[in-house]
Amino acid sequence: MSFESSATAADPAGSPPPHTVLVVDDEPTARLALVARLKRLGYRVIQAGDGKAGLEALRRERPELTILDWMMPEMDGPSFCEYVRQDPELQTSQILMMTSHDQPEQIAEGLARGADDFLSKAASKYEITARVQAGMRAATLVRRLKDATEEIRQKQEALEQELQSAARYVESLLPAPGTILSGVQMAHAYRPSLALGGDLFNVVQWSEDVLGLYLLDASGHGVSPALRSASFATFLRRDSLLRHVGSNDPGAILTEANKQFPLTESGHYFTIVFASLDLRCHTLSYATAGHGGALLHRRSGEVCWMIQPNLPLGFDPSTSYVTATLPIGPGDRLYLLSDGLYEFPAANGELWGQGRLEKTIQALGRQPLETVITETIAEAVRWQGHEQFPDDVALMGIEVAI
């Protein structure tokens, strides 16, 4: 059946265009009566004489409200509703089913197949007007909701692009792997989460024999912790440390950093592990602040966690952080790592944990440092069952030459 269209004239004053109603009914007399009523109510009205033509009109005109007969040739009302509800582009259109089928089970069928409301063909003009206005209010709300959802989606996309950009910036600050000091090899992995945390690690070359190493984590997620970490990394540069601390002692460095980086107004803070490797004295000095620490894997196979129970930076300006010292020898390996490398769950909710991480590194044994780093991350991925970690994952390993 051919499609007919009629519309009210556009308002020359520039007010919003009238809402549109599509009337789909194969009976022309009833359709004409309804169309005339809707026009008197100020709506723009389009018409179709069967379900198939109605669906075409709906796709083309996107009316806010469709008033639909139940029994029609080509495509009946309930089938029309099903088509509309399966099409994401048409879902916001409200459907008012006109019928003399006023039995509860038939109304239930209509609702189940996608109608939003019903209107008896014998309804008074007052009821018709009220139902149409109610349907139009619902359509307006649904469309506003859709618009708001789309706006949120676009903002989320922009935010994710910013986070990816920030992650690339953080990566640009990381040290190049390889020989970082004569006799010291370094390899690392950095896997920023979708939300981007504030993990950052680097090396500080004090002299030909002494090397500083750190891995820090700014609390929170997003661009802000990444920028705070970058700011902290500036403080941890050699010239800055010499100026502010005057020493390469890890405890002294963290004690000064604790003063320089108090809690933010929103309560954010840093955790950090800082180590100094002295090749001449064969010692490894370290201090931690609220950090899960580091792992020393000795050539003998022994594993030692370097953990000090103390506050993160910024909580108490009077806190002193103490340096601990361990002997280190040829073939020993030091791993600095973020808590994101062990505080993540498998599908059943069980955390991977420090124990499994330690066993993984032990099992990889004397394989090349880079392989140990790569395979440790791969094992973590296997545990959680997917590639994307919930938090930043950072792992930096160094090996003292034999």
Interface region with other proteins, contact rule CB under 8 A, candidates 65-73, 151-159, 237-245, 342-350: 65-73
Residue in 19, 22, 25, 226 binding other proteins, rule: CB under 8 A = 25
Interface region with other proteins, contact rule CB under 8 A, candidates 14-22, 32-40, 224-232, 382-390: 32-40
25 vs 332 by CB, closer to other proteins:
25
Distance CA 208, CA 178 (A): 16
Return the structure tokens found at 66.
Answer: 């469709």
Residue in 1, 8, 74, 121 binding other proteins, rule: CB under 8 A = 121
102 lines the binding site for other proteins (CB under 8 A): no
Beta carbon of residue 31, minimum distance to other proteins (angstroms, whole number)? 8
Site residue total, other proteins (CB under 8 A): 18
122 lines the binding site for other proteins (CB under 8 A): yes
227 lines the binding site for other proteins (CB under 8 A): no
Return the structure tokens found at 318.
Answer: 């009077």
Interface region with other proteins, contact rule CB under 8 A, candidates 19-27, 111-119, 148-156, 225-233: 19-27
CA 129 and chain centroid, separation: 45
Instruction: Provide the terminal-to-terminal Cα distance of the chain, rounded to the nearest Å.
Output: 89
133 lines the binding site for other proteins (CB under 8 A): no
Helix, strand, coil % in the chain, rounded to nearest 5: 40, 25, 35
Residue 81, burial from CB neighbour count under 10 angstroms (0-12, 13-18, 19+): buried
Distance (Å) of CA 287 to CA 155, 277, 284 = 41, 12, 10
**Which amino acid appears at position 22 of this protein?**
L
Given a contact cutoff of 8 angstroms between Cβ atoms, the answer to whether 329 and 320 are in contact is: no
Residue in 1, 7, 8, 71 binding other proteins, rule: CB under 8 A = 71
402 lines the binding site for other proteins (CB under 8 A): no
Distance CA 387, CA 263 (A): 33
Coil, helix or strand at residue 101: coil
Interface region with other proteins, contact rule CB under 8 A, candidates 67-75, 194-202, 299-307, 365-373: 67-75
Distance CA 91, CA 78 (A): 15
Beta carbon of residue 124, minimum distance to other proteins (angstroms, whole number)? 8
Residue in 33, 107, 111, 230 binding other proteins, rule: CB under 8 A = 33
Residue in 26, 64, 116, 392 binding other proteins, rule: CB under 8 A = 26
* Interacting residues with other proteins (CB under 8 A): 25-30, 32-33, 36-37, 40, 69, 71, 73, 100, 121-122, 125
